[in-house]
Structure 1
């Protein structure tokens, strides 16, 4: 583990519902970040193929016009598109945390984050434990196996999506795993501005900051933007344009004691934030607080955590050639939902 690690957090507009263009864009951003000296590049929530903003703008039946295209442009965890991202990580010798919509063999979609090391090895693909509000009309839920922290040469690296970063029990489990670098991926803070404070930048940048101070971990909070392309795609009325404003990019990088480590971009600007993480700050932060360590009271409070994956279908009975034909459909379904 290095004493100082240079990191990059992406603030950019996705290539909406266009997976090939989105992968090319992500590969280019990885190259840019590496040229800037970054050893880790963090992307916004479901950057590929973009956040499904239609769920906040109209009725479920009106949103059906996007569903097939969105599914078609969502990645699998073992397909060529994620392999191209992994190859870019290897080429540029950087770690990558990528937010994407994951499509499984059964057809379900999940809000996923892939963690890829600097050799191009996919360390894991995790899923958002509980999609937020209207997101549940598009995505399924993860399980306990999706709460992960990885030992890497950069330090212990973890990631959560959006409002997962305000779930007390999820956060506490992550803290207990000794996270040192955390990626808090966000979609954009442009929807319902002035109408729903809980969805706005003031609250959610505060969530990322509190995560850093509570967990005594560095926090990269990449956040996408909404531009003209998004409004052209999702907003067919002026009323919808008022609900989904352009901008919303509030990417931040925080230190474990609450310092802001990178000068923010304007909310409409696309670019990359860089910061040098000095691990000496971790010791200083831990000296004051460590809610999963010296500042805990396990005699008073305890948390039960189930880290095991769950499956809709579990095969019982005979195995081998005689059972293969009868259980082929079940095995095929399970193979599309394996967890690295």
Structure 2
């Protein structure tokens, strides 16, 4: 459990879009910077590696297929040299890492988060429970095994991506595991501006803030930036330039009472947010309202939660066939 203050870093930056190796280089540079400035944990945005697939929102599935191929090629496999470099950087800098990435698992991709300890060991990997809207044309989905918290020397850590924070039952499943430090990873808030508030910074930043106040936990909400270079790659006509804008970075760190713990950066400014998390703040917040404890009413409403992994292939090992009864010889030869 969390029994001391912990200094954390929250990333607001643009990846080197669709370039796996260059984004890994930038990841390691940010890990080193955070450690040098005293952070014990650094959190990265959703699909930081190799960048969020904005092309899904800008064109038809058929027109996006060349992008899809490149995205597969630049997604991160956990058994790769690139992954080993990131884990080694965590160990070399004595820092915990919560990395948002597109996970390549053979022929499928998943929106994933990887928690690495300060020795470079994997504490957990999880996948977004259900990809959002057009994301489903590219990414698979997970199961209840991805809704878990993890006991660590820093405290009880959990993570969700993007609009998983708009799923009330998902949130409650995480709260019920007494989360203390939550990683709320976001891609950027610069898509379809003026068309819908649901994709904008006010609504989604509020979702992170509510998570902190509702779950009485610290929320680190890293958020990527859409760079001008990304706009040049993605927005090949005026219509697309109207749909996706540069900027959109709105990283935040919230306390268990919903207060902001770090001064936000400008939406097009790259950098790290830092905050020191005092566990006493959780105690004070829980004393007022603990939705899975003294403030709950399980006689009225309860959550049915299945945390099991649901594997698509279950191998049944062949068993030696039993001898038919008529082949079993009696012990008494007279019978």
Higher helix fraction (1 or 2): 1
- Provide the C-alpha distance between the structure 2 equivalents of 1:280 and 1:314, rounded to a whole number of angstroms: 46
Shift of 1:143: 0.6
Report the equivalent of 1:206. 206
Matches within 5 A, 1:135-284: 135-284=135-284
- Provide the C-alpha distance between the structure 2 equivalents of 1:280 and 1:313, rounded to a whole number of angstroms: 46
* Secondary structure at 1:62 match in 2: coil
Is contact 1:96-1:117 (8 Å) kept?
Answer: yes
Shift of 1:295: 0.5
Aligned length: 319
Report the equivalent of 1:84. 85
Matches within 5 A, 1:24-173: 24-105=25-106, 107-173=107-173
Report the equivalent of 1:324. none
Is contact 1:110-1:141 (8 Å) kept?
Answer: yes
* Secondary structure at 2:46 match in 1: coil
Change over 3 Å in CA distance of 1:236–1:301 after alignment to 2 = same
Q: Which runs of 5+ in 2 are unaligned?
A: 321-335
Instruction: For residues 208-260 of structure 1, give each alpha carbon's deviation from its aligned partner in whole angstroms, at most 9, with x where no partner exists.
Output: 00000000000000000001111011110122111110100000000001110
Shift of 1:135: 0.4
* Secondary structure at 2:111 match in 1: strand
Is contact 1:74-1:100 (8 Å) kept?
Answer: yes
Shift of 1:62: 1.1
Change over 3 Å in CA distance of 1:271–1:319 after alignment to 2 = farther
Report the equivalent of 2:332. none
Q: Taking structure 2 as the reference length, what is the TM-score of the superposition?
A: 0.94
Shift of 1:38: 0.4
Runs of 4+ in structure 1 over 2 Å off = none
- Provide the C-alpha distance between the structure 1 equivalents of 2:90 and 2:13, rounded to a whole number of angstroms: 19
From the CA coordinates, give the structure whose radius of gyration is larger. Answer: 2
Which stretch has the larger CA shift, 242-251 or 58-67?
Answer: 58-67
Report the equivalent of 1:6. 7
Shift of 1:79: 1.9
Instruction: For residues 8-35 of structure 1, give each alpha carbon's deviation from its aligned partner in whole angstroms, at most 9, with x where no partner exists.
Output: 0000001111100010100000001111
